[in-house]
């Protein structure tokens, strides 16, 4: 006579009306459960089977929700959340040189960076985002703040050719980059990437050092590139080359490169990106607001380029809403491609999840709901009148869902948002600090 095996103890089971794993592509699983043990997904199976096989310490039932991978914001300047709305409705270089850089010069420092990142993390969690690719000064403070808040991030090691509050000389930037990289070596949530600002603010010598060190340290290179027609024209005037050609000659067009914006591309450059394994981060709302141009997202996708999505910073977009960014990316791609079938809902969701993970070199750990991956998850309530009636789950998520419908979020299996309530924040104290920064910035 045999007895049935006892259910296996696990940390967590999340039962959802729908699970959208992203991989396989465009699949929706009905009435499935995600089983989590020690930060990782150990099973994805029908709810009845999960109840028979596992005994969770915590069970979360989401009868009106879709469970998706945590969204990945593949290009951010999160300390700039404190500059939200400071200089709206201006062209890029006027906005940057006459408003943003002078404002930053007056207030930038460790406290500004820490408080800006904390506000950004709170906003991102409430919008289902669980990972950010960060590009700003004081990366030591940025990384420590992400670590403290239990938020996943790739933190940029800035390089630019003029003195800042972070570093004064070229050697300073590289010495401090090495120190910050070493301080997060082996961290489970925070990793690093080189973050040279852009071709027009970084020298050939610095790019050559970055290429060598990125190979040695096995980290990505994250930079703004081909953001405007003016940028391309100025580079051609100075060097006789388009920025892309210049970086090709310097050996940086490779599978480590995370190229942000890319609104000005030839067919040859698109083919070269595909051949080299470059990832392109599309920031549609920031590009629209600054009138920077249109990234050919569908042409890139069809060529085989890995296309991810980012919000850019709150000073040029005004929010960190990846649901809004997915929708805008999908709609804009259709207009640019003159094809209503371009960049469909499943492609947009993939760009905001698994493609972002791939760009950051994290595709083995996050970006999809698969056994063995980290349990970075977001639950989206689809019972609201704004998302009824419901015919196609993924289309509804991309085209009709607002970030306010995100109810619960987990990072590495730890609940960070529970029924719309942030679990690890003193929200009132955070808002008080934010208001104090507003007063300080407004008086300059």
pLDDT digits over 370-379, tens only? 999 999 999 9
Rounded Cα–Cα distance for residues 349 and 378 (Å): 13
For residue 4, the model assigns a pLDDT of 66
* pLDDT tens figures, 6-30: 999 999 999 999 999 999 999 999 9
Residue 1 has pLDDT above 60, yes or no: no
pLDDT average, residue stretch 114-120: 98
Q: To the nearest whole percent, how much of the chain has pLDDT over 70?
A: 99
pLDDT band, very low/low/confident/very high, at 92 (cuts 50, 70, 90): confident
Q: Are strands 129-134 and 152-159 parallel, antiparallel or unpaired?
A: parallel
Mapped onto helix, strand or coil, the DSSP state of residue 226 is: coil
pLDDT at res. 96: 85
What average pLDDT does this structure show over 236-255?
Answer: 98
Q: Which residue has 């051949």 as its token pair?
A: 275
Cα dihedral 51/53/55/59 (nearest 10): -40
146-201 pLDDT, tens digit per residue, is: 999 999 999 999 999 999 999 999 999 999 999 999 999 999 999 999 999 999 99
pLDDT of residue 434: 98
- The first and second tokens of residue 363, run together, are 């595709």
Asked whether the predicted pLDDT for residue 2 surpasses 50, the reply is no
The CATH number of 73-359 is 3.20.20.140
pLDDT, position 5: 81
Cβ atoms of residues 317 and 324 within 8 Å: no
CATH class of 8-69+368-412: mainly beta
Are the CB atoms for 261 and 287 separated by under 8 Å? yes
pLDDT at 384 over 50: yes
Q: Write down the residue that tokens 């998302």 correspond to.
A: 387
Tokens of 391: 């015919």
Query: In this model, does residue 258 exceed pLDDT 90?
Result: yes
Query: What pLDDT shows up at residue 443?
Result: 76
Alpha carbons 220 and 360: distance in angstroms, whole number: 7
Q: Are 375 and 410 in contact (CB under 8 A)?
A: yes
pLDDT score of 91: 86
pLDDT of 289 over the 90 cut: yes
Please tell me the distance from the alpha carbon of residue 139 to that of residue 178, in angstroms, as a whole number: 11
In DSSP notation, 263-295 reads -S--HHHHHHHHHHT-EEEE-HHHHHHTT----
Q: Domain boundaries in the chain?
A: 8-69+368-412, 73-359
């Amino acid at each position: 006579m045999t007895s049935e095996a006892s259910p296996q103890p696990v940390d967590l089971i999340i039962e959802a009306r729908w699970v959208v794993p992203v991989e396989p592509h465009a699949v929706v699983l009905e009435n499935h459960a995600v089983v989590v043990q020690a930060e990782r997904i150990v099973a994805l199976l029908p709810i009845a089977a999960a109840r028979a096989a596992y005994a969770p310490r915590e069970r979360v039932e989401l009868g009106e929700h879709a469970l998706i991978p945590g969204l990945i914001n593949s290009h951010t300047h999160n300390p700039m959340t404190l500059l939200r709305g400071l200089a709206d409705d201006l062209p890029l270089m006027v906005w940057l040189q006459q408003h943003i850089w002078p404002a930053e010069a007056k207030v930038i420092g460790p406290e500004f960076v820490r408080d800006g990142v904390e506000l950004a993390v709170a906003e991102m969690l409430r919008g289902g985002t669980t990972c950010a690719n960060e590009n700003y000064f004081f990366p030591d403070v940025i990384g420590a703040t992400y670590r403290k808040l239990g938020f996943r991030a790739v933190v940029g090691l800035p390089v630019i050719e003029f003195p800042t509050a972070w570093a004064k000389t070229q050697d300073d930037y590289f010495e401090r980059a090495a120190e910050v990289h070493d301080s997060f070596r082996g961290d489970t949530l925070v990793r690093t990437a080189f973050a040279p600002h852009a071709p027009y603010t970084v020298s050939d010598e610095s790019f050559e050092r970055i290429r060598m060190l990125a190979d040695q340290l096995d980290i990505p290179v994250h930079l703004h590139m081909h953001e405007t027609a003016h940028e391309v024209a100025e580079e051609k005037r100075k060097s006789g080359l388009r920025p892309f050609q210049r970086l090709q000659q310097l050996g940086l067009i490779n599978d480590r490169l995370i190229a942000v914006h890319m609104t000005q591309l030839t067919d040859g450059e698109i083919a070269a990106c595909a051949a080299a394994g470059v990832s392109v981060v599309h920031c549609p709302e920031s590009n629209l607001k600054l009138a920077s141009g249109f990234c050919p997202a569908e042409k890139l996708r069809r060529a085989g380029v890995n296309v991810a999505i980012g919000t850019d910073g709150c000073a040029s977009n005004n929010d960190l809403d990846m649901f809004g960014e997915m929708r805008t990316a999908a709609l804009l791609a259709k207009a640019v491609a003159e094809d209503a079938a371009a960049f469909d809902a499943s492609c947009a969701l993939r760009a905001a999840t698994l493609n972002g993970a791939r760009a950051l070199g994290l595709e083995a750990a996050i970006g999809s709901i698969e056994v063995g991956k980290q349990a970075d998850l977001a639950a989206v309530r689809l019972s609201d009148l704004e998302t009824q009636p419901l015919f196609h789950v993924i289309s509804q998520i991309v085209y009709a869902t607002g970030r306010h419908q995100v109810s619960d979020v987990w990072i590495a299996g730890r609940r960070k948002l529970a029924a719309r309530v942030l679990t690890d924040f003193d929200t009132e104290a955070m808002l008080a600090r934010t208001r104090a920064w507003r007063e300080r910035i407004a008086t300059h």
